Amino acid sequence: MRGQQRFTALRSQALRVLDRVPPLRRTLSELARIEVMDRSLALGAQALLALIPMLIVLGAFMPAAWGDGVLLQIRDTIGVREDVMEPLREMAVQRPVSATEVGLVGLLVSLVSASSFSRALQRMYARAWGLPTTGGVQALRGSFVWLIGWLLMLQVTALLMRSVSGIPLTGLVRTTIQFAANTVVWWWTSRLLLGGRVSWQRLLPGALLSGLLIVGLTRASSLFMPRFARANLEQFGPLGVVFSIGSWLVVFGGVLVVAAVVGRQIGEWWLPEQGRPQPG
């Protein structure tokens, strides 16, 4: 009974504090409305289901440099060591299957699976901005355009990362490149997947916050992910690597959700009368 009374008192105090800071209360209310935990889990699961088929297709149909570039960015972003990524590298770079073995049906299935993450992103951004979800040909076209743009961004970013090796302040330059690349790609992503219903200006705060949080997540991951991934690899084999990456992707999904919700609040404060979201 005493514990319940203490909890009720703390809850009342917290509500009084939130009443004095309306933007904070509104942001927390929006995070509760969008169901941030459920959205994070959904994005993480869809990203994991999209990753494996995409690597197989890259290994079968694309030059080895493409798969190598994608894995390099995944490794650097997640913060794991090269040997931990070897099971995935065998799929993407060492070509265990040929294009004939994958076949046209396998290619189509892999592309549809890979686009599932972008469709989950569409639903998340639409819910964050209180807009109806688009469907049909427009949504499908946006998913595939986003997938191609994302792959190109990974290749360009990997090339830039390799080109600055050995120069002074390499770490700072790479961090700047990573922040700029993520800001641009998630700015474009939100605009594309929302179907142009929200102005570029309103989407900029969320894009900047996405870039900042992803860089922070990458730095934090470099501290705990190597040991976590190594332990899972030794205990479960290649399946442990998939489990480690899946866990990281759930956190990554949470970062995108928080950035979208908080970015909307900042955008509406920044431009209260301009570029309001269009429902249709």
List the chain domain ranges. 23-270
Structure token pair of residue 221: 């991951």
Structure token pair of residue 51: 């990753």
Q: How many CA atoms lie within 13 A of 232 on its CB side?
A: 21
Find where tokens 């950035």 sit: 259
- Return the pLDDT at 138: 74
- Return the pLDDT at 275: 47
Chain-centre distance for alpha carbon 100: 32
Q: How many CA atoms lie within 13 A of 246 on its CB side?
A: 15
Whole-number Å distance between alpha carbons of 147 and 261:
23
Whole-number Å distance between alpha carbons of 268 and 254:
21
- Return the pLDDT at 188: 95
Whole-number Å distance between alpha carbons of 67 and 58:
6
Whole-number Å distance between alpha carbons of 28 and 35:
11
Which residues lie below 8 Å from residue 221, measured CB to CB, with a gap of 6+?
Answer: 77, 78, 79, 248
User: What is the pLDDT tens value at each position of the chain, 280 positions in all?
Assistant: 555 556 455 555 655 655 565 677 787 888 888 888 999 999 998 888 877 777 666 666 666 666 666 677 777 778 776 666 666 666 555 544 445 555 566 667 667 776 788 888 999 999 999 888 877 677 778 878 888 888 788 778 878 887 877 777 778 888 899 899 999 999 999 999 998 899 999 999 999 999 999 999 988 988 888 888 888 888 887 788 888 888 999 999 999 999 999 999 898 887 765 545 555 5
Helix extents (H) in the chain: 2-20, 22-34, 36-61, 64-78, 86-92, 99-114, 116-128, 136-163, 170-193, 200-236, 238-270
Q: Helix 36-61 vs helix 64-78: angle between axes, to the nearest 10 degrees?
A: 150
End-to-end CA gap in the chain: 52
- Return the pLDDT at 117: 84
